[in-house]
Structures are given as structure tokens and as C-alpha cells.
Chains A and B, each alone.
Chain A
């Protein structure tokens, strides 16, 4: 259905906006693994996304813009960093985890500003070429949108299997009660470390797509306010529901677009909508959808 949109006359601007929203959706779903499923609240998830963007953008510009090669390199960098950072930060939980992950993201933000020979400082990385697949250039607009949808589908399939697997269930056990989880033989630290790496890897896929969409990136992609935005998308959509955060990202991008074009004080209106939805429906937009669905088609038993 998503894939057909460009062919039923959706305007190019909408397609670009939709592409952006779907990429944010990948990112928000990766955050849900940490926050919603494992109970690890982080204020530094921009680090994974921004790092992916920088690694992908730099490699695409300097070496080759072959999409799969770029994705591989970006993943190599993101997973490598997640391995080390994750090993340290997953030793703590709760507020300490939230704050340390925030600090690490801010360190990456500062590095992006200071390491000018690679990142070009505050100006950011520019001139990232269009991606290629098997030598064929993927043009901006419809073609890139389809590439994004394809990637999104792969991510959705992978993640929905993951959260439903033994591993996914152990994450939920850890969220509910760490002591109990340890007492049934779950290595809590190892699980947190692994889910941190997986979450970063998925966010890195989003970052790679985004750098191609925008043909570049800036240090702002690593800023804490971005980490805040992705948390808003995930909470807005519904934590612990996997697809909720995807819906949350779509709502976030389109509402923000509506509000910024129509209102001066758009952030105020935007904040109000967010507060109302979260107060009325703690399980977010996904909660609203399930409720409506259930009332239309009551469960048969």
C-alpha cells in the first residue's frame, strides 16, 4: 500500500516528507527495543542515527555511493562503536543509563564539530551523491522512496521476529524485573549489551538512508534535542508495541509540517497535542488504534 502511493498521484513534496517520516520510523522502532521492550530509557539515541549518517555520508562521498557497500560500512562503524559504548553504559540502569547515554551522544556531537578534517565542523557533511544499486543510480523522489519502503519492510520483518523470539521475551522479562530475570538464568548484562548493539545497528540503517535523502548531514543530527524528538515519536506512537513508534514518527513529521506552515507558535500547539494524547492514551497512538479496532471487531472466542 505504501509502495503504491507515488503512483496514485501523491505530490513529490508529500513523497519526500513521507520518506523522511518512514526513516524516522525505523529510528523510533530501534529506540522502542531499548525503551519499550527492555526498559532502558535513553536520552542519547541521536548518537546512533547521527553516527550512521556521518559514516555513510563520508564513505559515499569519498569512496563509493553503492548503497549496499555504504550500508555495510556504516553498520561496521555503528556496531563497532555500540560494542564499546554499550559494554560500558549497560552496566548501569535507570537514570544513570539515561544520563550516561546522553553524555556520550553529546561527546559525539562535540567530536562532529571539532574533527573538521572529516566532518567539516558546524557546516556539516555536504555533497553526498545519490545512492547506486548494482551501478544504477537511485534518483531522489519516487525511486529513493521505494528504496526506503523496501528497507523499512526488511527492518519491520526482522524486528517483529526479534521481539517475538526467545531473546525478545527475555528483554521483556528484564524490563519487568531484573532480579527475577537473573534468577531464571538470564544474563541481564549480556542481554542489555546485545539489545543496545541491535538497537544502534537498526538506527544506523535509518541514519544511512537519511544522509542520502538530505544529501548530507550536520552535527545537529547528533544533538540531544534530536534524541528528545525520537523519544517523543516513540512515546507518541506507543512504547513496547514496535509498530506504534512507526506510526508515531509519521504523525510527528506530518503534524510538525502542518503546524510549522500554519502557526507561529507551532511548538506550543504541537506540545499540547502530544500531552493530550499521552495523558488520554498512555499506550499512545497504537493504543488508540487497538481500541478502535477492538470496538469495531470484538474478539471472537
Chain B
């Protein structure tokens, strides 16, 4: 698991959007498993093994929770363009969606509209949708944004479990969560990488302490 951290406005989400195809990078290359995917549109990156979540929750509000996940599963199975077969009869996608909801503890609200979920559950549904794409690289954009301490812990635990099986790129501005669960950490401020290394090395790095922690202090004043 690799984390990208930095104070607000550091350019984390911009990097994220360049990798996931929502922005076209002005320079440089994006490589996914050795494949040059620079400026590929988002929908082409999914079959290539990349899935992302959004910092601002973007679940499909007027569909059920189960359908949100099943949509992603059917998409991965290449069912998107089938116009006759009923969606709910794509049994493998339904089963997979139920399994993922079960794993993430969302089974109880499977038939509710996604709009009706509590904020924390919506954040988890974001991850559930991404997991249904069976990514080789899962990109999480501030999964704990706007969550209480208890919920943050729940997400942290979930991310740790996922990271055991999948490569994860985590974007966060909360340094504490990141240092606890990452293998590698990259620190950005003002659009530049200022340090990259293990959590231990990062927490000792003086540049990071100056730039990043300084920025946090400035913000907290």
C-alpha cells in the first residue's frame, strides 16, 4: 500500500485525477503494470485493472445499495450493452454484489436507496463499488473525509484488510492514519513531491516536518 499525503492544496487529488484519467497530465507518463495508460479515458482504465473512489461521495443515489455494487460487477463482466436480458438475472453479478456487501457490513441496507444511507455508510459503499471491479490497483481518495473518529477507525481497518490482497493507493491529508497502515508514503506540498519512503523515514524527514507539519500548524492557528 502506497499513500500520498500532503496539506490541503498540495495537488494530491490532481495527481489522482491524472492517473485515473479524469485529467490529462501536461507532462509525464502514467504506467499501469508496465502499460503506458497516459491520458486514457476512465472507462478504459477499469478493464486495465484500475478502480477509484471519489473524495466527494458519488454513489448512484436513486438506485439501491445492492444495485450500486451489482452495476459495477456487471460492468466488469462486460454486460453493459446487453439490452434484453434483465439486469437482476445476471446471477453472478448479483451474488458477487451481495458477497461484497456482506464483507463490508452493508447487507442490512442492501435494498435501501443509496441516498438514504448515513454518510459513513456511503463512504463504505464507494469502496464496495470499486471492489466489485476487482481492481489490481485500488485508488482511494480521502476515504475518511468528513467522518467521525470511530468511523475513521472502521475505514482504516477496512483499508488494511483490502491492502492485504490488492495494491492500494491512498490519498489522505491526515498523516496519523497513513503512517500507521502504509508500506510507502509520498509527501507532496504545493504541487511537488518533497519526500518518498517508508513511514518511519518520512516521520523523521526534516523537510516533511518543516513543510507539511508547518502547513498544518499554520492552518490550525
Contact = CB atoms under 8 A, between A and B. Distances in A.
B47 interface: yes
Contact of A172 (B54, B59, B60, B133): B60
A221 interface: no
B42 A182 contact: yes
Interface stretch (A67-75, A135-143, A163-171): A163-171
B182 to A, nearest CB: 23
A173 B63 CA distance: 8
Interface residues of B, number: 37
Interface residues of chain B: helix, strand, loop or mixed (majority): loop
B72 interface: yes
Contacts of B129: 180, 184
Interface stretch (A94-102, A187-195, A206-214, A230-238): A187-195
B180 to A, nearest CB: 27
A164 B71 CA distance: 12
Interface residues of chain A: helix, strand, loop or mixed (majority): helix
B43 A167 contact: no
Interface string B8-36: 00000000000011100000000000000
A260 interface: no
B109 interface: no
A161 interface: yes
B67 interface: yes
Given A182-B41, A182-B43, A188-B43, A167 B63 contact: no
B63 A169 contact: yes
A139 to B, nearest CB: 34
A180 B54 contact: yes
Contact of A166 (B52, B54, B87): B87
B120 interface: no
A198 B85 CA distance: 16
B74 A166 contact: yes
B22 A187 contact: no
A186 interface: yes
A188 B41 CA distance: 10
B47 A185 contact: yes
A194 to B, nearest CB: 7
A185 B75 contact: yes
A162 B23 CA distance: 33
A188 B80 CA distance: 11
Contacts of A167: 80-83
A225 to B, nearest CB: 31
A173 B58 CA distance: 11
Interface string B43-74: 10011000110100011111100010001101
A182 B22 CA distance: 9
Contacts of A185: 43, 46-47, 72, 75-76, 80, 133
Interface of B: 20-22, 41-43, 46-47, 51-52, 54, 58-63, 67, 71-72, 74-76, 79-88, 90, 129, 132-133
Given A167-B81, A176-B60, A176-B61, 5 more contacts: A161-B83, A164-B88, A184-B132, A185-B46, A186-B43
13 contacts: A161-B83, A162-B83, A164-B86, A165-B87, A166-B80, A167-B80, A170-B80, A176-B62, A180-B59, A180-B60, A182-B41, A185-B43, A191-B80
